[in-house]
Amino acid sequence: MRVDVLTLFPGIFEGPLRESLLGRGISSGVLDVRVHDIRDHATDRHRTTDDTSFGGGPGMVMKPEPVFAAVESLGPGDRRVILLSPAGRRLDQALVRELATEPWLVLVCGRYEGVDERVAEGLPAEEVSIGDYVLSGGEIPALVVLEAVTRLVPGVVGREESLERESFESSMLDHPHYTRPREFRGMAVPDVLVSGHHGEVERWRREAAQAKTRRNRPDLVPVSEGSETMADRPAIDDWVGRYVRAWESNDPGAIGDLFTEDATYFTAPHREPWRGRDEIVAGWIGRKDDPGTWLFRFEVVGVDGDVGFVRGWTEYTVPVPDADSGRFGNLWQIRLSEDGRCSEFIEWWMAEDT
């Protein structure tokens, strides 16, 4: 695949094009990436590439002539010209797949407040945005397009298989990944992944990917699926993992993210429950010691409908008033809502060694 990049800042591309996947694709000859300085195509003495905006307003606008001249200098041939712009069509994996089938792409990096509209209209160039935020220029977006597209070009990514499972290839996020060590800072790799049971591993990954998608990107979940009650083992695993980390970090945002707006939280049934996310966060922060004074272990013992049952062992590293020891055994009963947040948490206190 050939890609020509037109920019006012060719230096930005040096590192990324030398390293890693892009670097290897280029040195192996699978990718032919050429970076051109638009300024080389300005014709006046000052090599001007921008000017003030007709109609007034702050900021400069990129002039059309040097951009047209730069594209035309590439010579004839069938190519798809993309103008990186926050006002463009949003890049997604479907567009990436489409672009990956093109033999020749031209990426034009806009700068300043904008690019004269006649570039999009007259070249013509398709405007593409990498997301709903504004950067100071199209160089980083061009690199995003370049990397997303070229990794689908055969021969760029080593094992084709590793592309298939990735996030978005199936309208779902990728499943969680783990490597050694099996336990790290109290966080254990789910047992099923080391069971050697290929079918079970596949099932866990599918469910974990669904759970993650529901939590991080509910907009990707089909309406029929999203409206079902859910609780599956990976969703509970995931929630408890986040719960433990929130305890350890004491971060109000992380705590709040765990619960639905109207959640109920019974920390041992003999206490008054906390009702609603705000009360849970305030109560939690008020009751807890400094971050890092609690140690947790947990094990998901079962799931029934939308409720998970989890054994938890808590150890305090500072003395606890009115308690014989700093170690507690709990059974947590966790009801998850459709978006993976907890709507009801009940903690049953148990003897430490049960």
Tokens of 316: 């305090």
In the list 7, 129, 260, 264, the residue contacting ligand ADE (rule: CB under 6 A) is: 129
How far is Cα 115 from Cα 81, in angstroms, rounded to an integer? 14
Position 122 contacts ligand ADE (CB under 6 A): no
Position 7 contacts ligand ADE (CB under 6 A): no
Binding mask 155-174 for ligand ADE (x = CB under 6 A): --------------------
Closest separation in Å from C-beta 343 to ligand ADE: 36
Cis peptide before 16 (omega within 30 of 0): no
Closest separation in Å from C-beta 74 to ligand ADE: 21
111 DSSP assignment = B
Q: Which is nearer to ligand ADE, 138 or 340 (CB)?
A: 138
- Pairing label, strands 104-109, 2-7: parallel
Q: How far is CA 258 from CA 133, 209, 262, in A?
A: 27, 18, 12
End-to-end CA distance of the chain: 62
Closest separation in Å from C-beta 263 to ligand ADE: 36
* Distance from the Cα of residue 52 to its chain's centroid: 38
Q: Hey, is 88 helix, strand or coil?
A: strand
Q: Which is nearer to ligand ADE, 139 or 306 (CB)?
A: 139
Q: Which is nearer to ligand ADE, 129 or 260 (CB)?
A: 129
In the list 25, 141, 308, 312, the residue contacting ligand ADE (rule: CB under 6 A) is: 141
Position 337 contacts ligand ADE (CB under 6 A): no
Q: Hey, is 43 helix, strand or coil?
A: coil
Closest separation in Å from C-beta 218 to ligand ADE: 23
Position 85 contacts ligand ADE (CB under 6 A): yes
Q: How far is CA 260 from CA 90, 320, 344, in A?
A: 31, 30, 9
Position 138 contacts ligand ADE (CB under 6 A): yes
Position 131 contacts ligand ADE (CB under 6 A): yes
Closest separation in Å from C-beta 7 to ligand ADE: 12
How far is Cα 131 from Cα 90, in angstroms, rounded to an integer? 6
- Binding segment for ligand ADE (CB under 6 A), chosen from 137-145, 146-154, 182-190, 256-264, is 137-145
Position 54 contacts ligand ADE (CB under 6 A): no
137 DSSP assignment = B
Q: Which is nearer to ligand ADE, 85 or 267 (CB)?
A: 85
How far is Cα 260 from Cα 352, in angstroms, rounded to an integer? 30
How far is Cα 244 from Cα 296, in angstroms, rounded to an integer? 7
Contact 8, 39 (CB under 8 A): yes
In the list 45, 54, 78, 133, the residue contacting ligand ADE (rule: CB under 6 A) is: 133
Position 264 contacts ligand ADE (CB under 6 A): no
Q: Hey, is 301 helix, strand or coil?
A: strand
Tokens of 41: 């195509």
Site for ligand ADE in 90-109 (CB under 6 A): none
223-227 LR contacts (CB < 8 Å, sep 24+): 226/338, 227/338
Residues contacting ligand ADE: total by CB under 6 A: 13
In the list 130, 230, 240, 281, the residue contacting ligand ADE (rule: CB under 6 A) is: 130
Position 86 contacts ligand ADE (CB under 6 A): yes
Residue numbers of the site for ligand ADE (CB under 6 A)? 84-86, 110, 129-131, 133-135, 137-138, 141
